[in-house]
Structure 1
């Protein structure tokens, strides 16, 4: 199967999953920092709140409201800042003597557990990393190892990310991923981000507003995930990651108002990124 067939096949597979409805996206690894959640309810934050709180890279994943801190006998450390959490609420109003309802965006503020003192240690759960025997996949390893101008890759970090200013990819350790294929899907995602660097394809110049949840940021995330899916297809592991990739893409499409043109635009940019990686291999 040639590259064009792979790109088309994987794109169609993702679109089919999107149209059929996909399972919610899940974080494919578990390090000590884990998934941001409320300490009292233990419920993970979802949607924008998940990405926003995760972006700070805290070692521990727990957050509390001011009231919850007080109820647990704790207090906020002097000078600490809170974080905004948003939610939708149905609000009633009257129009023409008739009761109506409308969804309105609301927010409240939470504090990270590191900014709280006085809570009994037994109220704060231990949060150990996931661990399993990692079995490298040769086809994936070859693409990573032989990319001639690859960014520096650093493992055993708290989160997966690409840092443009350092031209570095940070990744959790391989053993913290629930599936070996998800490790490669995640590192491919970050490597596709790195193709946007000034010294490579300079895509970040075009999508320069990389503030979280901006239109440019959303498009760059779509490009990275489409590119990762293409690379997984070329390595023969797309079936293991396709549902999670489709769910991830669906989430970002919602930020872009689900306009179909964005998936077409992103797939074209992703293909250029993957071609760049494959054309800069030290061996055939």
Structure 2
């Protein structure tokens, strides 16, 4: 696919999204489809899903919403054939972009006279083919089809949604947040770059637990742009509320939140959309001015989501004693704070009773018969 065709395809996607925003329709990541799973290739690698990233994720998610697909798997015509399946008659595919930034290093073997790959030890200590950075990326385009457009393929093996496990991961994200989180608001939620602190409404102030986690993930995504982390220009440059620079950073935080919740199976809802309605329309203006902005935002959001997963959700990291104690105290206060009960009036103090020391008497041992002993004990009372 030529670059002109890629740009034309991007404009079409952006125009549809911008039109939905202006019409007040739910954005495709708020349509309930996030719980279906993140778009992935139908061919797994080492038994694990290979997820589509950035702009391709957005493109496939949007197409899934348009057609009502609930199966997150996608594949090329060739991949479907290799699996013994086929594409349904009359189905049309979706274009995705692939950028190759590296290539394998091959050198001539003087003994054989043939080119062979050069191997090196990778970061995991394993032998792997050496790669080098390309001076310019190679852009390729592929056409993929959703699994619901296919026949003769294995059904989707969908893991059950386990709220306890999901909540544990989201709570770990909160506890491991590198920006301190304060649960001190009543309807407002924001991140302060100057102090590197997050202020949000407590969980009890949200209609659903998912809405709470979506909002906190959004604010944590902002914090990944801090100069001590990813140093994202859309955050560090600043910008007044309602400005285009402000809208660009908000779009990145929202997409990062989307990617996190796609992967961990937590859904967005109307409550979440209402909390972000103030700047939704500014996104439409930014996207129309530059269709590439959506795809740049998706790239930055993917990096933010990766940072959150590596440093907060999936990694058990050591934290300072003071920081750890503060976080644990706040977490316990939110989850285990005892309910307040009316205070009872204190009881009047009792006057202590003085006890006199007594010396125990020695018991006399009687050597009389049992009957006589019984008479002696009765008399002594």
TM-score, normalised on structure 1? 0.50
Q: Which has the higher contact order (CA 8 A, sep 6+)?
A: 1
Larger Rg belongs to:
2
